[in-house]
Structures are given as structure tokens and as C-alpha cells.
A and B are shown apart, each in its own frame.
Chain A
């Protein structure tokens, strides 16, 4: 599918003056996902203060991440980077004994041109702990793209073939282990026959373990076996990726990871809409089936059933409008799902739009708008928050999906908002979690319903300038 198929969509690019989280925030969810990792953010107090404030209480749970806080001596190169990093990494190895240390490069390491990629292999062999380098900085990336840089770096570390030692007869892969847990070998063999014979499929994108299970089971219903996930629960369980392995992305912000898998690991990318919402999930599963020549079974009924169970929420938002200010790259998929729910979308802001990686999703968005008979949204890349707020005040959408910086001020002006970051932390993938997405989307509207008779919509004195 190419962009040529989606002539209806209008793309714009504004000034890039918008609010989003720094991409280093990815450590907050990745260190929890990859249980034997340690994330070391090499940056300044500014980075540290962001993590500490943005991640709130998580910081108190003895996190497996820390700042390597650069001081004046590091900036002016009075201190030796290698010696300094070695000292800190040895301390981390001593205190936490991780299976991998991920270095997160920041704006500062970019500007002073600290050669992290050069230092890592030397230090790795010296201290005996793998060191993965990801440059997740605010000069180049926004919010969730941080995960993309980490996974792209991890893709290089995936083994090309399963190690064949005696011990390995015991299943190593996290998912198979989970699915086969406690069963005898013959049961496993029997289970293998439940799958269609197809080339190995690896999924990429960090999602909570329950979602991993759900998605894996979803594909199993179609006879498709998931050979592994990037990332797995542990660094030591990274999936086998050989030439010709099929890969599919689960999140819309993973374009670097996708191109690394294609170009460097010679994988075949299945370009599909993302499994967000029942429509997206069905399209995603169907696309994978079609690549493997499988006739999907019962998907249509399954989607219909999910929609039926969502009706109480859908009727709250049908005919209402939603405006995405844009900060986490999930916007296109969420907008597509909400249009299918009957909402209209005047504008989708998005930090960065990879029209190739998101091609199938964009096509589905255009198709959905056509089928629902609503105008296609304007897609604004690198939005300008000031301009957007002028437009929001003018068109008065029923719901604005936005960052925390704007949520309270908009609410005070009588405009309902939903905090966008919640979508990155909630479980939103697959059929089962469609309800969770709508739970989030309808919350402000349900709140409004409860408070509607009070007459306190506007809580600022005059229309203050922005």
C-alpha cells in the first residue's frame, strides 16, 4: 500500500513548537518490561529532574535506572569519559548485576559528541556486561520514539539462531515457556500441530505481559505461531531473528526498529494497521493471515461481538468531535478507531509522520472516514501548540486529547480534555482492550454528564490570552 491510495488525507507541517515528553521517558516503561536490564541515562540535572517528575511515584520503587549526571569537568573534557563511565558501570554491576546495561544518549552527549557507540564495545568486553547504546534525545525525537531507538539498538543483539546446547532443550523463549508451562513434551508436540506451517514470525514493540499473552493467543486462533517478541521479558531471551523472518509492528512509532529489522537483519516486514481498537486488531490479524496464505476464521463475528459489547460506551461519543494535539505518535490509530466509533476528527496533530511505516494505517483511516461518511482529518506534523489552541477555541471540539501542560487550562475554559500520556501506559491493544481505550476516551464525557446541571463550565474570569 502506498500513500497514493490515500489522496483524501491532507498533510501539513507546522513550526514544531509543541509540548511532548522527552524520549528518555522510555526508560520508565522499558526497565519494567525488560526485567534484567539497567538503564543509565547519560545527561544532566535537566534530564534527571524530568524523569523524577514525569515518572512520579515509580522513582521510589528502587528503579533499575539512574542518571550518569554530567558535571562541568565532563563537559569541558577535563575528565575522561571512558574512565568515568567505567567507574559508574562497575558500580551498577556490583550493586544490581544486570544482564544488560542500556546507555541512553541525551542532547548533551550529542552536543559534546561523546562517542558512546565507540566506548560501549570496549567497556563491554572489559566489564563483561552487554552495553546497548540508544540515542534517545530531544534534539531528534519525541516521547515514544525513545522506545524506537532502544528497540532498534536491541535488534542488532538478537541471536541469528537458537543455541543448541543440552540445557536448551528446556524451552527458552518466554512465550512458549508460558504457554507450555508445566506440560509434558508430548503435549507440546501435539500443540505444535495446532499451528499452520508458516515461516517464523517475530512481533516488535514493548507491551505489558498480559497484552503479549492476549495477542499471542489471538494469532494462535488463526494457527499462527509467534516465535518471539522484541523486546522479551528478559534481555537474555531476545528472540531469534534470521534472514527471512517475518516481523510485524504492534505500535505506530517503531519505524526505526522496522527499518533496522528489514535492512540490517534482512527480515520481511508485514505492513498492517496497528492492533488498536477491534477494527485495527482485525485488520492487523487479517494482514498477517494473508501474508501467510491463511484464511482467517471467525474474525468478522469476533469483531462484531466486541463492537456489541462496546455499545454503551460508543453511544456516548457517537457524533461528537475529538481533536488530537499530538505528542505520542499513537494519534493516527486512535483517530481511526474513534472515527469508526462515530466520532469526527477535525485535526490530528502528530510529532512525526512516517508515511511508509504507517501506510496501511493511513489507508485504513481514509477508508474508515469514507465508510462512516465523515470528512477526513487534517494531519498536522510538528504542530504548533499556540496555533492549535487558537483553532481549538474557535471550533470548540467536544474532546481534546492533549498533554498535561494544556489539560487544566483547557478544562478551565470549558473544553473537555483527556491526558494523552495515559494512552501510552494503558493496555490498548487487541480485541479485549478496546474497552479500556473507550474507558479513557469517555471518562471526561461521563464526568460532564455527572456535573452537567451545575452550570460551572467556564472557570476563568475573562477569556485570558493564551
Chain B
């Protein structure tokens, strides 16, 4: 048992659901008790989905506990198959089904006999993997399923596309800025003259997965979701892959050079050097920003970075290498990926810290007293408490991290966005600091003086207690209304009763 107040990565089934609901016309059925379908709430609220989230539960209740799911799971699968005609139904185990040890694979096989669409059991174990690992695994599982199916039917398309092409692997629903990153990557590929053969899983159809081997190579922008699929394609279809995250100017260039190498090995002669140079020096603002006076002022400022492997590693490199900012600690909650992360950031920070314990990270930040933090929503709140500004660079995230405007983190536009994010965090910190030195905005007191009139009424103790329970931002209004009410009625002492009578009379 572990005492836990907060967690960075969710349970395994969330990862599976993120993959399933990213695909078009794929439905997930969770084998779970009532209330475990809050994934639908997250998806509907965080990413403001217009469509119903294609996830339902086959509810585990007392009866199931006593007698087993029996026909229930099979019925739910065939019912959903009838109602919505999905291409694929993914039966998703949860922590509950992990312990019940029902033969879910058997249910899937039985349901498959009646269902028009395909049915599969997600191969994830709640107690062994987390959300990210499960997402990576499920994506690979679905890809493998459809490639094997096509091979069996002899429907695997022959050969490669005519022009150089790429599969972009790992863009998911509820992923941090993933939809903007997808647009930016498509743009980048367009500028490089590379066709996007497929982008999975977001918005993709499972029926089209058989075309994956037609691409010349795979691009896996994120470390957390996609590598397993790329590995599978490499082993079985001899497809090379690029797993350099194009985040920041230097890494984007490195990613493009890796692509160049692959294409040239395929016999097309491409040279992207002039493109990289042009984008770096003129199209993007990031390189110029590094030279500008603003960025000079950031030299040697201390900051802390914490997040998932991909973002924490990339941002650490951007801060240290491209802006001359000192990263006193770089950390990740992807414990299972410790070696890779350490290897990536070792040379760019003073200390590497891998932990899933938000308390330990908060303590660390408090000790180090950085000028800015780049972390998750949790670090943002730590920053609030310690009065240190924070830029959010990784999940877990809130609804404000699903902006409507175009905010990629990848590619050349992503580099611009990063500049704004980083610079704004620091200037705010500086402004705060200056205000403190000069004693804050001195106009505040004068304004409040003119606003509050001295009261001729007395408040009883219980009246005051009730008044103080009213949220601060409306308290002033309630106080004024109550006093007006009391004055009109000639009440001299305001008690709790008077306060509520006034509330009823005024209707506020």
C-alpha cells in the first residue's frame, strides 16, 4: 500500500481508451463498475468534444461479482455492434477485471461470432503498466491485428508510395497539444516534399491501417506513445523510423537530417540543409530571439524542468542549449524510462530527478528556489504556493491547456511558441520581483478608501460569521445590500437572520 495524494500518469485503461477513441469508428467497452467511465467526462470537457465519446461500460455490479459476467459482456459487445456498427470494438480491462480474472478473451471470441465488426481484448495489466505504457501497447496491438488480418486475406498492398512518404505515429486524443503538433508536422512534411501516408491513431480509420507499410519511413514524435508500433513495423516490414522529437530549433534540425538520411538511403537525393538554414535564421523567430537583448537578460537564470520524458527532455535542451538558461534540475515521472531520460539531459542540467511523488518534487523545488518552473499543472500549483512562475509543458493538464488557438510545441512554429512561453514566465517573475522591491502598486489603498463608505450599522457576531462565509468576491456586494436593507427597515443590528432576509428580498 502506498499513501498517495496525486498521480502523474493515470491507470492503464485510460491509455487504452485514449487510443481507441482517437481512431474513427472504434468503440471501447470497459469491463468496470459504475462510475469508472469518467474518461468520457475528461474527453468531453478537456478537449471539448462535440461527439459522444465512443466508450461504454459493461457494468460490474454485485450480480456480476456473485455469478460472473456470463452473457453480459458478450451481450454488450453485440449490442454496441448493432447500434453503432463500429469497425472495431476494444474490450478494455480495468483494475476490477484484473482481480476478477474472468476469461475476457473467451468473451471476445464468442462475441466475434455474432458481431459484424472486429472485436479485440486490450492486452494491458492494470498492476503492471500505467496510462502511457498501455497507450503505447494498445496502439501496437491494433496495428498488428489489422496488418495480420490483411496479410491473411492477401490484402496487404505491395510496394511503397511513388513519392517519399511518412507515417506519423502517436498523435492521440487528450495528448498535450497533440492536435496542433499534428498540423505542424503535416506542414513540415509538406515543406520537405514528403507525403503523409498515415497519421495514427487520431482521426484514422482502422481499415486503412493495412496501408501503413507503403510509407517510406515512420516518424514517432513522442517518446511515450508510438515507439512500440514503430518497432513492430521495423521488425516485420523493415521500415526505418525517426524518433527524434522535433522540439526546439536544434532538435528539429536533427530530426530533419535523420529524415534526409533515410530518404537518401532509399535512393532519392535530397538536401535539406538550405531549408533548415532558412527556417532557422529567418522563418522562425527562436534563433533570433536567442541573440536578442531580451534573451541575454535570461542568461544564467535558474530553472527547474519536470514532466513526461519527451517534453521534459526537449525543453531542458532548449533552455540550456538555445537560451543559455541554467537548468538546476530536470526531472521526469516516467520511471520506467529512467535510463533514456538520464542519457538525454545529463549534459544539460545540474541534477536529474526521477520520481512519481509530487510531494518530493515540491520539496525539491522549494529547496532549489528557481526563478521559473517548467512542469505540469501540479508544478504550476507548487509555483503558486511558492510565488514562482510556471510554464506548463506536459500532462497532467487542465482545460486551459487545450487552447483553441494554434499552439504547437513541435516544428518551427512550435519553437516560436516555446519562446513566448519561456520568456513570459521569466518576465512575469522579474516584474513581480521589482514590484516587491518598490513595495507593490501603491495606488491600491487609495482606491479602496474611496470605495468603502464607513458604516453606521453594527453587525452582530453571528451576522459577521455568516458574512465571512460568503465568498470574498461577492462579500462586498452582499454587505452593501444587507446594510441598505437594514437601513430601509430601521434595523440597527444586523444578525444572520437579517442577512438572509435581505438576501431573499434583494434576490442576490
**Docked pose: A143 CA to B34 CA in angstroms:** 9
Q: Residues on B close to A: CB < 8 A?
A: 1-7, 10-11, 13-14, 32-38, 40-42, 44-45, 48-53, 56-57, 59-62, 65, 76, 83-85, 94-96, 98-100, 126-128, 130, 378, 381, 396, 398, 461-462, 465-466, 469-470, 496-497, 500, 503-505, 507
A41-49, A156-164, A187-195 - the one binding chain B:
A41-49
Contact of B126 among A45, A112, A409 (CB under 8 A): A45
User: When the two chains form their complex, are residues B497 and A217 in contact, meaning their CB atoms are under 8 A apart?
Assistant: yes
| Among B33, B83, B127: residue with most chain A CB under 10 A | B33
Query: Residue A91 at the B interface, CB < 8 A?
Result: yes
Q: Is A304 interfacial (CB 8 A cutoff)? A: no
- Residues in A74-114 with C-beta less than 8 Å from chain B: 74-75, 79, 84-85, 87-88, 91-92, 107-108, 110-112
Contact B6 A52 (CB under 8 A): yes
A178 contacts B2, C-beta separation under 8 Å:
no
A63–B5 CA distance with the chains assembled, in angstroms? 8
A258-266, A331-339, A370-378, A458-466 - interface stretch? A458-466
Which single residue of chain A is at the shortest CB-CB distance from B37?
Answer: A19
**A139-B44 in contact (CB<8A):** no
Specify which chain B residues have a CB less than 8 angstroms from the CB of A214 in the assembled complex. 500
Partner of A181, one of B37, B461, B469: B461
A273 within 8 A of B: no
Q: Could you tell me which residues of chain A, from 185 to 239, have a CB within 8 Å of some CB in chain B?
A: 209-210, 213-214, 217
Which segment, of A64-72, A121-129, A341-349, A356-364, faces chain B? A64-72
- Nearest A residue to B86 via CB reads A465
Please state if A68 and B2 are interface contacts (CB–CB under 8 Å): yes
Q: Which of A42, A45, A142 has the most CB of B within 10 A?
A: A45
Cβ contacts under 8 Å, A181 to chain B:
461-462, 465
Give the CA-CA distance A305 to B61 in the complex, in Å: 47
Q: Please, which residue of chain B has its CB at the minimum distance from the CB of A49?
A: B10
- Name A residues whose Cβ lies closer than 8 Å to a Cβ of B: 16-23, 42, 44-46, 48-50, 52-54, 56, 59-60, 63, 66-72, 74-75, 79, 84-85, 87-88, 91-92, 107-108, 110-112, 137-143, 178-179, 181-182, 209-210, 213-214, 217, 305-306, 309, 386, 389, 403-409, 412, 431-432, 435, 459-460, 464-466
Which residues of chain B are near A67, meaning CB under 8 Å? 2-5
| Cβ contact of B99, chosen from A23, A108, A309, cutoff 8 A | A108
Give Cα distance in the complex from A142 to B264, angstroms. Answer: 60
Min distance, Cβ B506 to any Cβ of chain A, angstroms: 9
Q: Which of A16, A45, A209, A466 contacts B34 (CB 8 A)?
A: A16
Q: Across the interface, do B40 and A111 meet the contact criterion of CB distance under 8 Å?
A: no
Residue of A nearest to B79 (CB): A386
Bound complex: CA A48 to CA B10 (Å): 9
B1 near A17 with CB under 8 A, answer no
Please indicate the chain B residues that have their CB under 8 angstroms from the CB of A306 in the complex: 504
- Report chain B residues within 8 Å CB of A406: 44, 52
- Distance in angstroms from A39 CB to nearest chain B CB is 12
Task: Using CB atoms, name the residue of chain A closest to B380.
Answer: A60
- Pair B59/A16 contact, Cβ less than 8 Å: yes
Residue of B whose beta carbon sits closest to that of A22: B35
Contacts of B51 in A (CB 8 A): 409, 412, 460, 464
A404-B44 CB under 8 A given contacts A108-B96, A111-B96, A112-B99: yes
**A421 to nearest B CB, angstroms?**
9
Whether the pair A111, B59 counts as a contact (CB closer than 8 A) is no
Residues of B within 8 A of A50 (CB): 35-36, 38
Q: A22-B36, A54-B38, A72-B127 are in contact. Are A182 and B461 (CB under 8 A)?
A: yes
Q: A56-B398, A181-B462, A217-B500 are in contact. List 10 more A-B contacts (CB 8 A).
A: A22-B35, A46-B94, A48-B7, A50-B35, A71-B1, A138-B32, A138-B36, A142-B34, A217-B496, A465-B84
Whether A405 contacts B2 by the Cβ 8 Å rule is no
Asked if B50 and A408 make an inter-chain contact with CB atoms under 8 angstroms apart, the answer reads: yes
Given contacts A20-B34, A84-B1, contact A111 B99 (CB under 8 A): yes
Given contacts A66-B3, A138-B35, contact A432 B500 (CB under 8 A): yes
A139 touches B49 (CB 8 A): no
Are B53 and A405 in contact (CB-based, < 8 A)?
A: yes
8 pairs of A and B residues whose beta carbons are closest in the complex: A22-B35, A138-B33, A405-B40, A412-B50, A84-B1, A45-B11, A44-B95, A138-B35
A/B interface sample: 27 pairs, CB < 8 A: A17-B56, A22-B33, A23-B35, A44-B11, A45-B10, A46-B94, A59-B5, A60-B378, A60-B381, A66-B3, A70-B1, A87-B1, A107-B60, A108-B95, A108-B96, A138-B34, A139-B62, A139-B65, A213-B462, A214-B500, A217-B500, A305-B504, A405-B37, A405-B44, A409-B51, A460-B50, A466-B52
